[in-house]
A and B are shown apart, each in its own frame.
Chain A
Amino acid sequence: MTEKLVIVGNGMAPGRMLEHLFEAPGRYEITIFNAEPRVNYDRIMLSPVLSGEKTYEEIVIHGDGWYIKNGVTLYKGHKIVAIDRTAKTVTSDHGVTEPYDKLVVATGSVPFIIPVPGHDLPGVLTYRDLDDVNAMLLAAQSRAKAVVIGGGLLGLEAAAGLNARGMDVTVLHVMPTLMERQLDPAAGYLLQRAIEERGIKVVTKANTKAIIGDVKVEGVELADGIVVPATLVVMAVGIRPNSGLAKEAGIAVNRGIVVDAGMRTSDADIYALGECAEVNGHVYGLVAPLYEMARVAAAQLSGDQTAAFVHNDTPTKLKVTGIELFSLGDFADGGDRQEIVLRDASAGIYKRLVLKDDRIIGTVLFGETADGAWFNDLKKREVDISSMRDTLIFGQAYQGGSPLDPTAAVAALPDDAEICGCNGICKGKITGAITGKGLTSLDDVRAHTKASASCGSCTGLVEQLLKLSLGDAYNPAAVQPMCGCTTLGHDDVRRLIKAKGLKTIPAVMQELEWKTSCGCAKCRPALNYYLVCDWPDEYADDYQSRFINERAHANIQKDGTYSVVPRMWGGVTSAKELRAIADVVDKFQIPTVKVTGGQRIDMLGVRKEDLPAVWADLGQAGFVSGHAYAKGLRTVKTCVGSDWCRFGTQDSTGLGIRIEKFMWGSWTPAKVKMAVSGCPRNCAEATCKDVGVVCVDSGYEIHFAGAAGLDIKGTEVLGLVKTEDEALEVIVALVQMYREQARYLERIYKWTKRVGVAEIKRQVLDDVERRRAFFDRFVFSQQFAQVDPWSERVSGKDKHEFRPMATVGFAEAAE
């Protein structure tokens, strides 16, 4: 019989507990109440989100699908307000009452707020969850002054993040040195210097007296009367276990909710874990012990009474890019202790080992932390270091005579040495997975062991282990094969297609010794493109090797419907065209009509069966496919140029339309977006496009290799040409060179980074003969490519694509 397991809280600890529990699913029917209105995400990665190095989507641990897949009921935005231990129920603030057989309390911690006057003013934030980060990001848009109260781990990460977002940041810390709980004064001083070098002001011994402001924050007043102006104040002075709910329910609470080594509270049916729990007098805030609690709780809930939590010192690392810091254990001075210190002032390095009875009991590393794992291991195993005392501080590489290379250092670690502190993954587990499951890449290791999948600071170590286990077979810098079907990389395949005259996909697979019978979804579209590009007149396009969007000539949406974008040359339209679109939208009851970033109109939610009829009506009005779905020429965005604009220097609209009419229909390795601006004010935003033109009085400045998507990058300038004809020739030659030389799915900016701006300039601008040859080859291929795919399909081509094969069962069901 399944029992009902209810979990209060949806942070990282209960998330991990469920992962362990699902290793043997079926025992429990699970309900989670999350006070935050979202799924489980990686809280320790909030700092990279704040600094802009990651997005929220990248730090989600369990997406909605995970809960559905595992049959978990998740109440988002429901805060549990009462536990009734007699009736064995919990009740949420929205009035939902849920019975339980076993209850897990994982309410986490709450930030400590210094109760000074003004602490509740708008503009005073804590740093705890994504809502706090979003509020900080909003405040950072002003680029005004911010004060962070607290110079500990969280406070410094918040300060660095706000600084990276352009705010003027001051850190106020009550103690004489930063992070005094993890660092000795010497390292604290170095840290302060490194923080100040980034333009963050640090005030130590700063005693906050009040936060001042009438309706919102205006500044922070210190005990000595100094006022630090600020429009944003972040309080990061510490956390305390959130144990109020348990206390009200009559469960034993000390600093946190008191649990035994099996994570059980004073009520045998109620467990607690995470930052709210207190084990053996300790409460925890770092992820590694919380994950250990999760493992123990899951084992206990699965019936393993022997699982027990054991206290372990956890190393501290600061997640501020460019600052290397490692701290572990006990490093206070004492009569029975010795220390070994290394300082390298010019390199900003400080290392200190604290020894007792010839064993390491504490470590502080600043500026160079690669040996942290080794010191941690020596400490954990209580190794007698007397024989290597003289060289110990120089790290593992200097032991045993000649210096070892870093790989050998990792090789020398024992199997139980911890590699990934966040997830508690030791060396043996990683190497075991690499050999046992045939893993070959960092991503594989992350997927199978979770090592390096949280904060990522052990990535280097994991790569060393891959290298050790796989030998020469692992070389991340080596040529990446196109996919698992071949050992050849994209460049080799392209070269061999031309050299051997291969003109069909089966011929390529046969001659180049493909390992699979008919490829996969990665290599087939690439091969199809290479053949279309290299043999435009001879190769028969293989539609079954095209992604659905290029097969259906529309963009598939998440619900299986499609979106339709007709071409609007240069972004110019007319009353007749708009009327035709309006009529189509009404006739086919298209739910959403949206203006795109490329100056045209998108109709979303079209049923696949309706596509040919939609295209027929659009075609009547003169529309052709906009190829908004294609790895091909998308739009040419324009401004109104000299026709209307009082600043316009050339006819940018006319040139944009001319380019689009010349180049539409061409397939390219990845999408190509262009723009033409009529003057350097650049209203068409040409300087972040794959190819852009900025018109000037003296002619046309041609730009390329911009990006404004996953990456943001301004364009490179290819050169200035005098006439429109010349501009067109250079642009076409550039695109043809890209078509012939780039790898499939490689955007122009990435291709340019690989081959170099100078080389491209040489081939398509300086070498006039070569430019002409590129141009001619493009023109030749266009005669086969410039066929409107929509009108073809209106006339009946690929009918099967748009109709169900059969419709069955409806008549019977209706009876």
Chain B
Amino acid sequence: MSVAPDKAARLERGTMNWIAIGSIADIPQRGARCVATPRGKIGVFRTADDRVFAMDDHCPHKGGPLSQGIVHGAAVTCPLHNWVISLETGKALGADEGSVRTIPVRVEGERLFIALEAMASKAA
């Protein structure tokens, strides 16, 4: 099961690093967890129908931690000021405008991977 197979496949051929972050069971349904990285936290979201998405844990409005919000449908509501962000596109829904960077996710069996932009090679 993959969120965006075409996008994922494309990235795989490029310079993306797929990093294991745990199991789908680690995230409650209609919930989220975060992954700490040197460039800030990433929110990993699981919907009611077991789709998994990842994006920067940083609301485009005032930087609220999206992983702390309520997950509904394929969207999350920011806990600070109730902006609703699409998990699929990272864009704000409704009359608000703004977007957050989404991060490719792959689900292999139970295991979850996210693709980080060649962080290790750049740092080395």
Contact = CB atoms under 8 A, between A and B. Distances in A.
Interface of A: 65, 69, 444, 447-448, 516-521, 524-525, 543-549, 552, 556, 558, 560, 800, 804-810, 812-815
Interface of B: 19-22, 26-31, 33-39, 41, 44, 47-49, 60-65, 68-73, 77, 79-80, 82, 84, 95, 97-98, 116, 119-120, 123-124
Contact of B72 (A444, A518, A552, A807): A518
Contact of B36 (A521, A552, A804): A804
B79 A809 contact: no
B62 A807 contact: no
Contacts of A519: 72
Given A516-B72, A544-B70, A547-B79, A805 B33 contact: yes
Given A804-B36, A808-B116, A809-B37, 5 more contacts: A521-B84, A548-B68, A556-B65, A806-B36, A810-B38
B22 A805 contact: yes
B70 to A, nearest CB: 4
Given A544-B30, A805-B27, A812-B124, A524 B70 contact: yes
Nearest to A543: B28
A560 B65 contact: yes
Contacts of A520: 70, 72-73, 77, 84
A525 B70 contact: yes
9 contacts: A521-B77, A544-B29, A560-B64, A805-B35, A807-B36, A808-B36, A809-B39, A812-B124, A813-B123
B21 A516 contact: no
A518 B120 contact: no
Contacts of A525: 70
Contacts of A558: 62, 80
Contacts of B37: 807-810
Contacts of B61: 65
B123 A815 contact: yes
Contacts of A556: 65, 68, 79-80
Contact of A805 (B26, B47, B73, B84): B26
Contacts of B19: 808-809
B64 to A, nearest CB: 7
B68 A805 contact: no
B68 A552 contact: yes
Contact of A65 (B28, B36, B44, B62): B62
A721 B10 CA distance: 75
A812 B119 contact: yes
A813 B37 CA distance: 10
Contacts of A69: 60, 97-98
Contacts of B82: 521
Contacts of B33: 800, 804-805
A547 B73 contact: no
A449 to B, nearest CB: 12
Nearest to B95: A447
Contact of B30 (A518, A548, A800): A518
Contacts of A813: 38, 119-120, 123
Nearest to B39: A809
A106 B26 CA distance: 56
A524 B124 CA distance: 46
Contacts of A544: 28-31, 70-71
A548 B35 contact: no
A518 B46 CA distance: 13
A688 to B, nearest CB: 28
A768 B20 CA distance: 63
A549 B70 CA distance: 11
A444 to B, nearest CB: 8
A524 B70 CA distance: 9
Top 6 closest pairs, chain A to chain B, by CB: A521-B77, A812-B120, A805-B33, A806-B21, A521-B70, A548-B68
Nearest to A807: B36
Nearest to A545: B70
A228 to B, nearest CB: 48
Given A518-B30, A560-B64, A806 B80 contact: no
Contacts of A808: 19, 21, 35-37, 116
Given A808-B19, A808-B36, A548 B72 contact: no
A543 B30 CA distance: 10
Contact of A800 (B26, B38, B49, B84): B26
Given A517-B48, A521-B77, A806 B68 contact: no
A435 to B, nearest CB: 17
A516 B73 contact: yes
Contacts of A548: 68-70, 79
Nearest to A562: B68
A814 to B, nearest CB: 8
B35 A807 contact: yes
A548 B65 CA distance: 10
B34 A804 contact: yes
Contacts of A549: 79
Contacts of B27: 800, 805
A657 B41 CA distance: 42
B111 to A, nearest CB: 11
Contacts of B35: 804-808
Between B33, B36, B69, the greatest number of chain A beta carbons within 10 A of the residue's beta carbon is seen for B36
Given A521-B82, A544-B71, A804-B34, A809 B48 contact: no
Contacts of B116: 808-809
A65 B4 CA distance: 31
A544 B124 CA distance: 40
A516 B75 CA distance: 12
Nearest to A505: B30
Nearest to B74: A517
B33 to A, nearest CB: 4
A504 to B, nearest CB: 13
A805 B98 contact: no
A448 B95 CA distance: 8
A170 B31 CA distance: 62
B21 A805 contact: yes
B17 to A, nearest CB: 9
A696 B36 CA distance: 58
B68 A560 contact: yes
A70 to B, nearest CB: 10
A547 B78 CA distance: 10
A69 B92 CA distance: 13
A132 B103 CA distance: 49
A324 to B, nearest CB: 32
Nearest to B41: A804
A117 to B, nearest CB: 51
A620 to B, nearest CB: 28
B71 to A, nearest CB: 7
Contacts of A815: 120, 123-124
Contact of A809 (B72, B97, B119): B119
Contacts of A448: 95
Contacts of B29: 544
Given A517-B73, A544-B71, A812-B123, A805 B80 contact: no
A585 to B, nearest CB: 23
A599 to B, nearest CB: 27
Nearest to B23: A805
B113 to A, nearest CB: 10
A543 to B, nearest CB: 8
